[in-house]
Structure 1
């Protein structure tokens, strides 16, 4: 498919596909190939889909939601004991107003962020690699086990999905998994408090995700996706489904065949929760258009970047405490840091007057 054809299909989509990935997890080669083809169509034509048949049991989902409600019900002072700015590997409590893809429009939600667990004596942690390290688990009885169990289950589904995306690109199923060993894949527990004046308030600002893709467990409607015309398309809430969207790294690997579609959360009046797992590749992975895709397209459409540095640079530009550390000279942006929102559909529309 030519790039112009892909752009036209992105411009025209008005709905989000639903894909049953059970055959990808448990089927034979033919069944897996058929699901991979569906994944490829969704990644090329929308950049988003709803995923069912993922095998993450309802009890695991409910366990995660229950613990999130317990955590956010604590006092502000207790939650701030795990404030994300107290740590040097970007994990912990994110208070309202801390995060904003656009600094002029802070996101009015709170979150607790954790990621792939690494011990303090891991060589990359000892070397001070950003975003890697142990999780600062809250001092809340019964919190860690159900949250960690959900993370492990979603992470394994993510590995299976990456193999499906590889097949959709005409690659061997395991080709991209060699870059997934101890990635800074982050799980966020997000809480949107009740806000009766939310008509014109922004939940999460328009953005693309920085990693390979995202697995989102929502608890209510509110997510919108930008099509190729710049129109915002609603993502309906589907009980038990996970929402998947393509991120920056997979867009680059695919040389633009797959698109990191811009999305946002809008008009959130009711109290709600949301749980994205941002599936990343290893920090030191150099991501560039794969040779097979460059040969197919005749040219490389993206320059190479280090996956972890890209993620870290975007994070620095998004979180207040990191912007303050940057201003004080305590940290610096990685070389070749890109502006937030410079990739994906949102980046294309920012370039268009």
Structure 2
């Protein structure tokens, strides 16, 4: 359970890149400690080429500078598997607050003849791509590099939990790990209020690269703690699935983005496992007399949370075109804010 932390730990993960490194065990312990105490960390020493981020930022800036009509050509509602442009006001968090942002969502690229896509899977299949030179190439190169880092960290989390390093590997063949390109426009009248509402992330964990400050994390005392911008660092935070797998030993820490005047770009990769993975508390974390978290199916949980926070999916639910999985959790079920409410 996260504590009344007042700052976010900074972890050098260079030793995690080679499991034979003499510093591997101590780096794993530091990662596990941050997950237990805070649920957030900033990681450096990750080894990702800075040029990949420069190319990503240039491509993203060019996309969001396009006329609205061009961006709407790849509107997310044109997709049957939740890929594409998300205009301001499309996504709603935190009791109906409208987020002051626009985004572009993509995930693992599967061909249009993949049986899961053909069968109508709501989260798997091909991406929508804008007609913009170099955009697909820059975004895909970044996705591949950060996804590879996420596999390294998932193995380290397994070791931190007392499991074999490959404990989760069998669940990562084609996971719907979503990359979001998010743009918070310049707003000279911005007040100190949320730009994206308080929430937890629905997957295992998140790797985020922002270009400006604004992210805040909720501690056990109910205080919002600032996550300072560290050049070149990723912000890592625990998501709902690791909270379930650890039966609450890791908490999907609630966070938000406060509204700031400066223009801000943000690039989270939401690290998931295969959509059909049953996520249930690991035996080591099921203790006599302690509550046991109910299992979820990873893809069903992701779709249920997504469908409750996007207007176009809410409309499809209302029309009966899609349905929520049986036993779907309401929004804000996990994390520090949910614990405080209970």
> What is the TM-score with the length of structure 1 in the denominator?
0.94
Contact 1:208 1:346 in 2 (8 A): no
Give the match's secondary structure for 2:330.
coil
The equivalent residue for 1:15 is 7
1:176 to 146, 153, 168: 168
The equivalent residue for 2:65 is 73
Ranges of 4+ aligned residues in structure 1 off by more than 6 Å? none
Give the match's secondary structure for 1:189.
strand
The equivalent residue for 2:181 is 189
Contact 1:187 1:278 in 2 (8 A): yes
> How much has 1:104 moved relative to structure 2?
2.3
> How much has 1:161 moved relative to structure 2?
0.3
| Distance in 2 separating the partners of 1:36 and 1:242 | 17
> How much has 1:30 moved relative to structure 2?
4.0
1:221 to 207, 213, 217: 213
Contact 1:187 1:275 in 2 (8 A): yes
> What is the TM-score with the length of structure 2 in the denominator?
0.97
Give the match's secondary structure for 1:194.
coil
The equivalent residue for 1:314 is 305
The equivalent residue for 2:107 is 115
The answer to whether structure 1 residue 96 and structure 2 residue 96 are counterparts is no
| Distance in 1 separating the partners of 2:237 and 2:111 | 30
| Distance in 1 separating the partners of 2:146 and 2:14 | 14
2:79 to 87, 99, 102: 87
> How much has 1:301 moved relative to structure 2?
2.2
- Alpha-carbon distance change, 29 to 53 in structure 1, aligned in 2, over 3 angstroms: closer
Give the match's secondary structure for 2:244.
helix
Q: Deviations over 1:260-282 (max 9, x none)?
A: 10000003211110000000011
1:163 to 155, 168, 176: 155
Unaligned stretches of 5+ in structure 1? 1-6
1:203 to 190, 195, 210: 195
The equivalent residue for 2:222 is 230
The equivalent residue for 1:347 is 338
> How much has 1:350 moved relative to structure 2?
2.7
| Distance in 1 separating the partners of 2:261 and 2:240 | 30
Give the match's secondary structure for 1:11.
coil
Give the match's secondary structure for 2:33.
helix
> How much has 1:28 moved relative to structure 2?
1.9
Contact 1:289 1:300 in 2 (8 A): no
> How much has 1:63 moved relative to structure 2?
0.8
The equivalent residue for 1:4 is none
The equivalent residue for 1:248 is 240
* Greater per-residue helix proportion: 1
Of 127-136 and 161-170, the range deviating more from structure 2: 127-136
Root mean square deviation of aligned Cα: 1.3
Unaligned stretches of 5+ in structure 2? none
Contact 1:202 1:265 in 2 (8 A): yes
Contact 1:103 1:318 in 2 (8 A): no
2:35 to 15, 22, 43: 43
| Distance in 1 separating the partners of 2:131 and 2:194 | 31
